[in-house]
Structure 1
Amino acid sequence: MRPACKSPRWRQVWPICPYFTSRLPSGSWPMGRPGWPPCLVPTFRFPPLADFPLLFFRTSSLRLSLLLLAGLLGLGLLRPRAGHAQILDDSTRNRYGARTTFILKERDLLQGDTVGRMVDSTLTRLPQQRYWTHDTTFQQTLGYFGAASRPLLWEANRQLGARLGRTVFDQYARGPEDVNYYDTKSPYTFFRFFQGNPYEQVFELGYARSLKKRFNVGFNYERFGANKAIAVSNTKTGQVEHNNFVFFARYQSLNNRYHAMGHFATARHTLAEQGGIRPLASDTLADGRIDLSLLFDYQREVVNLTNAKNRDSRDRVRLLHSYQLLGRGLTAYHLFNFSRQLNRYTDEQPAPSGVRNPFYPINRLSSAATDDRAEFRQFENTVGVMGQSQLVNYRLYGRYRTYSLETRSAYGAPPVVREALPTVDGPSQLFAGGTAAFQYRQFAIETAGEVKPSTEQLEYWLSGRARLGFLSGEVLLTSAAPTLTEQQFSGNHFAWNTDFKNVNVQQLRVRAARQLGRHFVEAVGTVANVSNYIYYSVDPISQTDQIHMDGPRQASGNADKFQISSLMGHYRGSVGHLFFETQATVTLGAGSDNPALRIPAVVGEARVYYQGYLFKKALFGQVGVQGYYQSRWKAYDYSPSTQQFFVQDHFTIRSVPVADVFLNADIKTVGVFLKMSYINQFLPQNGYFAAPYYAALPRRLQFGLRWQFFN
């Protein structure tokens, strides 16, 4: 009998076990090699996040090779001394590998899972750039790797209380839910290097080892970046640089009653803002309209900003530990979290030659320099209890939060940085929440929620889910206060002070998923009623060629309440060695007639590839083509000095089909890929826009290497 996959009971149904890495005789789908079996019991596995991208090396290839070699040699010094080293014979090599290395995350421990899941050694997502970062959802970007981004599709907010509201660089920073903790039987090293010539670079190095069986420690370092493709004479000129370091540790007691996992994380993200392409007189038609097809000369174009930079700095200390009081039926836990986020925007020439740059609507505080800073600090302590049995699972908790926000800007000439707004030392905030679930055979029901009591406006999110076989449904109710940035802002170019109501959402989601032999079919329908939605709007009096943001607005009047609906279809299957996968989402109610929310009517991707063994099964390979498509829409514009995307009506992005061809290979623990991105460039035009006047990268060759060491 084939083994079933082990995972916590209280997770959404998934028809297969996509990360099962053991080779067994039976056939399988999907991302693994032939011979990896499906699970007997359908279980959900959280998809691997991009797992750690990203690098920015501007050094020569020789220096890079020497640095990587030095790093690997340094790791060797961390191994046990020769007298205590493990003997690596044939049995050892067969014993240690992906099947003996498990990943755990915070959500696993909070769901009573102390086993985790095997490391991902599959190939399918390796060349997909959407999985190179820590947020794998579809995103609207500014066209280059490492740029500001926002979610492309609708998703209701479940964050309550004080939030900074500067989220455009979130997908590059490793959140607490993205940190991996390990259970390793041998030292484990993870190495990744990607290069998109000449624009994108990715480097990641991770190491974990067990100490005395109960204690596991490790670190992860990632560095990534991008070079300029627009308005530059040398494509080796850097535009984005990101550094992220995480030190993590996990402990479990001898009797397995006490568990602890904690980490320290720091991230630094710096990029040169260009403000988009500035059309010239030669790009203008006789009727005054701009010929957008003339704006794809890339290096020869002119941009709005040449001395502006955005910096996003984040630090976090986090500890989660639990103790079983009465077996698995009653466990107490405590979660401590400290986080800091600093956003800084600078421009050394907001008024070159004494004349204000028309990209900015005004220079409020200084014409000599722009230096706007916002620093948000937050302390949280969460205490709760949880438990589970064969039929019931529950968790109850209370959270205590304190926070502060400092806003500073440069004033006068010469510029002097001082306080722009009074420091916000917010009142302490209390939250209460929990989950409760019941499952019997094919029927399951789960409720969850969180409440922030308040004398002014009650904040909450409440959800209820039910599942019967392949059908499931969820009802979600949310009411969340505006972010701190939406409430108040002061900088050199913008300022506002608002008094907004809570944003309310009532949402219904229905899902049907079925595994039919080697084919999997899924459909998800969503209907959401939204009221008091907060968005950033365009200044109605700004010029056509220099559109300015006006500030945050709350939907009112006829737009106070609106409804959006979406249908997502997903299929994957195989015929022999030929594999197919496609996913598409159709959204209604968020088109150009909605003044507050914009989503393309159709967003989809598809992939077809052939996979099999070569050289007597010494090499496993995949070769195929993948494509992405989004329909015409009025994409969000971007304000770099506030780090906010805003709704606009002056620029329509045409339908965008983008095709790539790729070749993947796996040799034992080494995975490599070679991909030609945007192979359909010049069909029909020689480029496309990701945002108004932000051209996406041209055709380029990408290659990458992933190497995992298990001893």
Structure 2
Amino acid sequence: MRILLSVVFLVLSGFLLFPNAATAQVKLPGGISMPGGGGGGGSKGGKGGALLDDSTKTIYGPKTTLHFYENDIINNRDSVRYLVDTLLPDFNRWTPVDRSYGKLVDLGNTGTATRNLFFQPRQDIGAQLGMRAYDPYAIQEDEIQYIDTHSQYTDLTYRSGGRKTTLGKFGYSQNVNPRFNFGMQGQRLTSNKQYGIYGVNAAALLGQNWTFLLQGHYFSKDKKYLILAHYSHLNQKVREQGGVIPDTSSTGDGIYTYDGLARISDDANSWERRHVFHIYQQYKLANGFQVFAQTDYKSTINRYTDKAAERGVLYGVYPASRYDTSDIRQDIFYKLFDNKIGIKGTFSGFNYRAYVRQRLYGMNVNGQLPNTTGHLSMTYRTGFKFDNIVGLWLSYYLKDSTQHVTAEAEHLIGRDFKLKGEIDTKWIKAGYQSIFTSPDLIAQNYIGNNFDWQNNFKLTGTNTIYGSLPLKTRNIQLTPEVQYNLVNNYVYYDTASIPRQLGSVFNLLKLGTTANIHMNRWNLSGMAYYTINSNEDIIRIPKYFASGQITFDFTYAKVLFVQVGFSAMYRSSYFADAYMPITQQFHLQDSFEVKQYVVADLFANIRIKRIRLAFKMAHVNQGIGGPKGYYQTPGYLGMRRAFSFGINWPMFD
């Protein structure tokens, strides 16, 4: 850490003392031809040589390294390309909860289980495993960047936060030739416990996250054929704590101190590994007509162990053990093969896509059974199930590519279906979705040392109407929003962590607005929501929520771009869902009200040429005019005041 800070200090000193030493960016003559860059960027001269200006300065940079997403290709937007992000706004936000502006909830510390604060209707049909607590730490398929670069591109990121939370990220990409690119990305995220460390020899490490991505794409010489492919991996391990036992012997408000013990032992661990193999292929048969294939293979292994289960039972984290009172052990395996084949293209101003889709999936649960103490037995197997799905997607662009009308339909033969329509213009965005989905596999069948259920739940139906109205002036943009959900046959986990299905209908109405205000060097951005819930006994959402930040931007010595700011997040009191680590599910509880609270941060983002730095004091208001802490999830304390530092260094040659 000292070495890294020394390097940063030297970099800062060099640019401040010698501001004229910065190399000016020069635009590429004639722009960039897509797809394909100028080659690998390693040789000099010739077709694949380095790009030079008249002063022999290299001009590789963000404008010579572009990227696109698979959705752009699928939706017939092949020419769309994006620049590398070198901007300062939101660079201070780097944990999943912080990046979501507080709309995501964890167990009080980075690397732990998460859930959405607001109700989110499903977007995909077909049965799913239903273990989503670590989704925000995995690489999301729709966020994978397929890169086209004129040079070798390396991206380095390092973050250090409170309780020794650290993140290291490495990315590399290179064009083998103008039509073929490959790249890789690796990330390591760790966090330490805030409480529950029993002694000097006890384990302080809380969460560990490894992710890895290998991706590439290829365009044929005549541009008729293309292939995109990637492999992504998640390895997530967490020492579960079950929440804190408040230290009521301390002075002041003892329930918010960080000196208490954990409710379960150091021997409790969740460990999840995911493998995703993905290939997208497309071939142009004629103008406006292509055939495509999208293939996925996904594997998930989830393991939970606790070699001192009596402590968790004693403090009410687990129900009583059914077979082995001292040891909990289970393995859950899930595999999915998903293949989509269809046609797509453009016709008379319409973009269209029609396809058939096959899903082959299965789940196995290995747990404890009577007379198998210390050993695992096959307790439940779904067998492989096969789904046939047909789908259609249409889009019509209005006056320009930013305004369009879309409609889509998808039907799982004999069961699930989805209908959605949306209009998106510069005056209004509005849509309607009706989706009926199969219940999660984990909610249907599970057998283990502490739980046993077999259910035959019906389809869950959600009808959603949403809309937003952008109101713009020269410096102000306000966007009022509304979302209405009518939910039928909702599946939830009750106060005993058992899945149930509500046979009646309830509705949720979320009203709010987002705001962006720019006044000279001052910038304000944020959001606020009010939720009306017709069934608070089944689904718990805070009635009031607000999150935002205000920043001031200025330049020093012509090369040092600085943004200083203040951010805050507020949510009203509510009986938030508790967490059951064995099944990785959040469930209802009626005994612990998570009190209203404001979490505020002070931060500064700095850019020197292409290097970005972030400095933040998180939870700066801890103990000021209020309690000494707050709870994110019942029993789980939110992060205390802590300083964090980050650096991002993209290199283009």
Q: Give the TM-score normalised by the residue count of structure 2.
A: 0.88
User: 2:603 matched to 1:662?
Assistant: yes
Partner of 1:394: 352
How far apart in 1 are the matches of 2:50 and 2:173? 19
User: 2:555 matched to 1:613?
Assistant: yes
How far apart in 2 are the matches of 1:295 and 1:62? 39
Q: Is the 8 A contact 1:331 1:387 kept in 2?
A: yes
Alpha-carbon offset, residue 300 of structure 1: 4.2
> Cα distance 1:134–1:703, how it changes in 2: closer, same or farther (>3 A)?
closer
Alpha-carbon offset, residue 116 of structure 1: 2.5
Q: Deviations over 1:364-387 (max 9, x none)?
A: 232242111110001111101111
| Match for residue 622 of structure 1 among 563, 570, 583 | 563
Q: Is the 8 A contact 2:97 2:106 kept in 1?
A: no
> Cα distance 1:673–1:103, how it changes in 2: closer, same or farther (>3 A)?
same
How far apart in 2 are the matches of 1:64 and 1:535? 48
Cα RMSD between the aligned structures? 2.6
Partner of 1:248: 215
How far apart in 2 are the matches of 1:356 and 1:655? 29
> Cα distance 1:221–1:135, how it changes in 2: closer, same or farther (>3 A)?
farther
Partner of 2:521: 577
- Written as runs of structure 1 = structure 2, the 5 A alignment for 1:140-289 is 140-232=105-197, 237-279=204-246, 282=249
Partner of 1:416: 375
| Match for residue 546 of structure 2 among 597, 604, 607 | 604
Q: Is the 8 A contact 2:446 2:453 kept in 1?
A: yes
Partner of 1:110: 74
The one-letter code of the counterpart of 1:372 is Q
> Cα distance 1:301–1:351, how it changes in 2: closer, same or farther (>3 A)?
closer
Using the TM superposition, name which of 80-89 and 337-346 deviates more.
80-89
Alpha-carbon offset, residue 611 of structure 1: 0.4
Q: Is the 8 A contact 2:247 2:260 kept in 1?
A: no
Using the TM superposition, name which of 439-448 and 223-232 deviates more.
439-448
| Match for residue 333 of structure 2 among 375, 383, 390 | 375
Q: Is the 8 A contact 1:537 1:648 kept in 2?
A: yes
How far apart in 2 are the matches of 1:386 and 1:634? 48
Q: Secondary structure at the match of 2:612?
A: strand
Q: Is the 8 A contact 2:127 2:441 kept in 1?
A: yes
User: 2:70 matched to 1:123?
Assistant: no
| Match for residue 311 of structure 1 among 258, 271, 275 | 271
Q: Is the 8 A contact 2:263 2:317 kept in 1?
A: no
Q: Is the 8 A contact 2:138 2:211 kept in 1?
A: yes
The one-letter code of the counterpart of 1:680 is N
Q: Is the 8 A contact 2:42 2:152 kept in 1?
A: no
Q: Is the 8 A contact 1:368 1:414 kept in 2?
A: no
Using the TM superposition, name which of 629-638 and 380-389 deviates more.
380-389
Alpha-carbon offset, residue 197 of structure 1: 3.4
Q: Secondary structure at the match of 1:651?
A: coil
- Written as runs of structure 1 = structure 2, the 5 A alignment for 1:433-582 is 433-441=391-399, 444-454=404-414, 458-467=415-424, 469-539=426-496, 549=497, 551-556=498-503, 560-582=504-526
Q: Secondary structure at the match of 1:351?
A: helix
The one-letter code of the counterpart of 1:145 is T
Q: Deviations over 1:130-177 (max 9, x none)?
A: 558997871121100011011111221122112100000001011222
- Written as runs of structure 1 = structure 2, the 5 A alignment for 1:40-51 is none
Q: Is the 8 A contact 2:457 2:501 kept in 1?
A: yes
How far apart in 2 are the matches of 1:624 and 1:62? 27
Alpha-carbon offset, residue 81 of structure 1: 6.8
How far apart in 1 are the matches of 2:471 and 2:4? 51
How far apart in 1 are the matches of 2:427 and 2:44? 54
> Cα distance 1:293–1:302, how it changes in 2: closer, same or farther (>3 A)?
farther
Q: Give the TM-score normalised by the residue count of structure 1.
A: 0.81
> Cα distance 1:378–1:118, how it changes in 2: closer, same or farther (>3 A)?
same
Q: Is the 8 A contact 1:351 1:368 kept in 2?
A: yes
The one-letter code of the counterpart of 2:71 is R
Partner of 1:692: 634
Q: Deviations over 1:366-418 (max 9, x none)?
A: 22421111100011111011112572111111111111211101455651112
Q: Secondary structure at the match of 1:298?
A: coil
How far apart in 1 are the matches of 2:272 and 2:235? 6
Which of the pair has the greater relative contact order for Cα pairs under 8 Å at 6+ separation?
2
Q: Is the 8 A contact 2:443 2:499 kept in 1?
A: yes
- Written as runs of structure 1 = structure 2, the 5 A alignment for 1:295-310 is 295-310=255-270
> Cα distance 1:386–1:229, how it changes in 2: closer, same or farther (>3 A)?
same
Q: Is the 8 A contact 1:279 1:302 kept in 2?
A: no
Q: Is the 8 A contact 2:247 2:254 kept in 1?
A: no
User: 2:303 matched to 1:344?
Assistant: yes
Partner of 1:427: 385
Aligned sequence identity (%)? 24
The one-letter code of the counterpart of 2:362 is S
Q: Is the 8 A contact 1:133 1:171 kept in 2?
A: no
Using the TM superposition, name which of 122-131 and 662-671 deviates more.
122-131
Q: Secondary structure at the match of 1:649?
A: coil
> Cα distance 1:133–1:280, how it changes in 2: closer, same or farther (>3 A)?
closer
Alpha-carbon offset, residue 282 of structure 1: 4.9
| Match for residue 614 of structure 2 among 653, 665, 673 | 673
Q: Is the 8 A contact 1:368 1:415 kept in 2?
A: no
Partner of 2:321: 363
Q: Is the 8 A contact 1:534 1:553 kept in 2?
A: yes
> Cα distance 1:514–1:103, how it changes in 2: closer, same or farther (>3 A)?
farther
User: 2:648 matched to 1:706?
Assistant: yes
Q: Secondary structure at the match of 1:108?
A: helix
**Alignment: residue pair count:** 612
Alpha-carbon offset, residue 126 of structure 1: 0.9
How far apart in 2 are the matches of 1:306 and 1:607? 38
Q: Deviations over 1:201-252 (max 9, x none)?
A: 1111000010111100010000101111112256982111111111111111
Alpha-carbon offset, residue 61 of structure 1: 6.0
The one-letter code of the counterpart of 1:150 is R
How far apart in 1 are the matches of 2:166 and 2:107? 17
Q: Secondary structure at the match of 2:322?
A: coil
Using the TM superposition, name which of 477-486 and 87-96 deviates more.
87-96
How far apart in 2 are the matches of 1:436 and 1:126? 36
How far apart in 2 are the matches of 1:618 and 1:304? 52
How far apart in 1 are the matches of 2:368 and 2:294? 38
